[in-house]
Chains A and B, each alone.
Chain A
Amino acid sequence: MNILNILAEIEKVDPEVYERLDQRRQVFKHFAGFGKKLATAAVPLAMGAMFQKAYGQSSGLGKQVTDVLNFALTLEYLEYYFYDMGVKTRNLFVQADLAAITIIRDDELKHVNFLKTVLGSSAIAPLTANDFDFTGSKGGKRAPLIPEVFRDRFNFLALAQAFEDTGVRAYKGGAPLLIDNNTVLEAALNIHSVEARHASHIRTMRRGGTQANGLPKSWITGNDGGGPRPGITAPVYGPGMPADMYPSEANVTQAGINLTSIPNVTADQASEAFDEPLDVTTVLAIASNFLK
């Protein structure tokens, strides 16, 4: 088997493969040197080892990194099953809604699969739809928080927005913990901005499309959840723990600079211009409402 063919095959599945390899160039160089000596039959085996390193898979990941990624994986499962159930619920959505929710569902599934691949044997046991209760009743053990979640488009979208914005805050909180592993950090950032795009679009949907005025805007104004069930969405936009590290989304001070001191800047605009991170404990408290 020709190595160029192998790479071409992999590229069909993962177009970014060359960039990933490039990030760990020393690994690649190491391999290239080997390539000349290796018998052709041995090449695929060596490739496998190389990719484990390129993606940071294997025992090379520290506990902090696997913890962050497994936490992210839990949230991605949560989002995926939520959207998947929404897509499969008849008459919940009109066609344009369905197209958008399907796009988002598919992205979340890709995130699940990607994180599982990176974590390899360190990944948590796979979650299933049965692990979640999106009405918030914990499988009937308490009164549901959102009984209409799959019967009312606006309740569904409110929870979708809550999940997306929580995801954005969670990845943001996790990123500095990954600073020592460039490959994993970049991948986390690359998922983070996709979640933000989802969040923006869900807000557009809640507003009634691109022709409609009003809240919620596509960015977070103050700590306004912009919709029903403010009691449930409040922690999504409120402060985490500790609050000075994880301020509410209404925060207007960044790196010691009060943004409202800039001429012609309102507090609303200052809060919108920066999103805020959230700590693991607070994110789990929000998410656990929907875990059985």
Chain B
Amino acid sequence: MSKVMHDATKAQGLSEELQTPLERRTFLRYTGLGLAMGGLALAGCNDVMEDVVKTQDASANATDMANMVDVGSGDVGVLNYAYALEQLEAAFYAQVLQTQYYNSTSAPQRVALRDIEAHERIHREFFKQAITAAGATPIKDLEVDFSSIDFRTKQGVLSVAKAFEDLGVAAYNGAGKLIKTAAYLAIAGKIVSVEARHAAIIRDFLEYNTFVGADVVDQNGLEKSMTPAQVVAIANNFLKEGSKLNVSNLPTE
């Protein structure tokens, strides 16, 4: 029920979304919303809805899953999940540094983008080595798909940079509690604040004094977390077929 209720806030966009064909998940959301609004099924609603969604997801994705990159389970899975996101970020900034935009923009932006590129590359290489050192196997080198990104303009480059940095912070914040080993949690903590620094300066470049805001921080002043499933739903849009991420084996709490 919690999920259903949460989606009640999205009802405003209902008419707009109805113009487009309903996906299975969207349909379920509306059905669930109707149930909750009707005051039916207080108890047990949560479980029923979740099970239905889970079954649907499983059948829809069964064939796709085989073609996805499974980040694995347990702490190593979380490390590989972080490694995957760092690969994505590093690839993005590597491409940014090759653009005419980077070469022609203001000196402070060039310094920031150059630094961030180095930081993300360091994070990527660190995870690759650390996972290996832990006796586990890093996931493969992911192939990115940045065809939807406009690398020519400030808006094109920085809005995606902002999205990636905010996503990275929310991802680390959501993954912290999934980690069981204190040393790994400490590492994640050392990286997430750097990602937050990146996010703040990129946002300030786009619009001054937007380094923090209601879109990323709740009414208690807490930055919003995202679950791995929420994160890869976005990240997979920037990964090629065969490099899309499957996080279904990660711990959930």
Residues of A with Cβ closer than 8 Å to B?
A: 2-4, 7-8, 11, 13-16, 18-19, 21-23, 25, 28-29, 32-33, 35-36, 96, 99-100, 103-104, 106-111, 113-114, 168, 171-172, 175-176, 179, 182, 185-187, 189-201, 204, 207, 209-213, 217-219, 254-257, 259, 262, 264-266, 269-270, 272-277
| Chain A positions within 8 Å of B169 at CB level | 193
Question: Taking the complex as formed, is B1 at the interface, i.e. its CB lies under 8 A from any CB of chain A?
Answer: yes
| Chain A positions within 8 Å of B115 at CB level | 217, 219, 269, 272
B53 to nearest A CB, angstroms?
14
| Chain B positions within 8 Å of A35 at CB level | 42-43
Question: Taking the complex as formed, is B142 at the interface, i.e. its CB lies under 8 A from any CB of chain A?
Answer: no
Contact A219/B119 with A190-B173, A190-B223, A199-B197 known, Cβ cut-off 8 Å: yes
**Per a CB cutoff under 8 Å, which of B36, B173, B208 touches A210?**
B208
Give bound CA distance, A175 to B211, whole Å. Answer: 23
Contact A28/B46 with A190-B224, A200-B197 known, Cβ cut-off 8 Å: yes
A1 to nearest B CB, angstroms?
13
Give bound CA distance, A25 to B201, whole Å. Answer: 37
**Per a CB cutoff under 8 Å, which of A19, A23, A106, A219 touches B197?**
A219
B32 to nearest A CB, angstroms?
13
Write 17 A-B pairs (CB below 8 A) sorted by A numbering: A14-B220, A29-B46, A32-B44, A96-B209, A110-B221, A179-B185, A182-B253, A185-B177, A186-B173, A191-B222, A192-B192, A219-B119, A219-B197, A257-B130, A257-B133, A265-B122, A277-B186
Is A22's CB under 8 angstroms from B2's CB? yes
Is A218's CB under 8 angstroms from B190's CB? no
Judged by DSSP, the binding face of B is helix
Give bound CA distance, A193 to B167, whole Å. Answer: 12
Is A187's CB under 8 angstroms from B197's CB? no
Is A189's CB under 8 angstroms from B126's CB? no
Contact A201/B189 with A4-B39, A259-B126 known, Cβ cut-off 8 Å: no
Chain B residue with the shortest CB-CB distance to A263: B125
Is B191's CB under 8 angstroms from A274's CB? yes
Is B6's CB under 8 angstroms from A18's CB? yes
A34 to nearest B CB, angstroms?
9
Question: Taking the complex as formed, is B229 at the interface, i.e. its CB lies under 8 A from any CB of chain A?
Answer: no
| Chain B positions within 8 Å of A198 at CB level | 200, 211-212
Give bound CA distance, A258 to B26, whole Å. Answer: 48
Interface residues on B, range: 35 or more
Interface string of B103-126 (1 = CB under 8 A from A): 000111101100100110111011
| Chain A positions within 8 Å of B123 at CB level | 273
Residues of B with Cβ closer than 8 Å to A?
A: 1-3, 5-6, 8-9, 36, 39, 42-44, 46-47, 106-109, 111-112, 115, 118-119, 121-123, 125-126, 129-130, 133, 169, 172-174, 176-177, 179-180, 182-183, 185-187, 189-201, 204-205, 208-209, 211-212, 217-225, 253
**Per a CB cutoff under 8 Å, which of B186, B197, B221 touches A114?**
B221
In the A-B complex, list the 8 residue pairs whose CB atoms are closest, starting with the nearest.
Answer: A110-B221, A200-B200, A196-B196, A190-B222, A196-B193, A201-B211, A200-B197, A182-B177
| Chain B positions within 8 Å of A109 at CB level | 221
Is B183's CB under 8 angstroms from A255's CB? yes
| Chain B positions within 8 Å of A218 at CB level | 112, 197-198, 200-201
Chain B residue with the shortest CB-CB distance to A76: B221
Is B125's CB under 8 angstroms from A108's CB? no
Is B194's CB under 8 angstroms from A272's CB? yes
Is A269's CB under 8 angstroms from B122's CB? yes
| Chain B positions within 8 Å of A217 at CB level | 111-112, 115
Give bound CA distance, A8 to B174, whole Å. Answer: 24
Is A265's CB under 8 angstroms from B118's CB? yes
**Per a CB cutoff under 8 Å, which of A197, A266, A272, A273 touches B212?**
A197
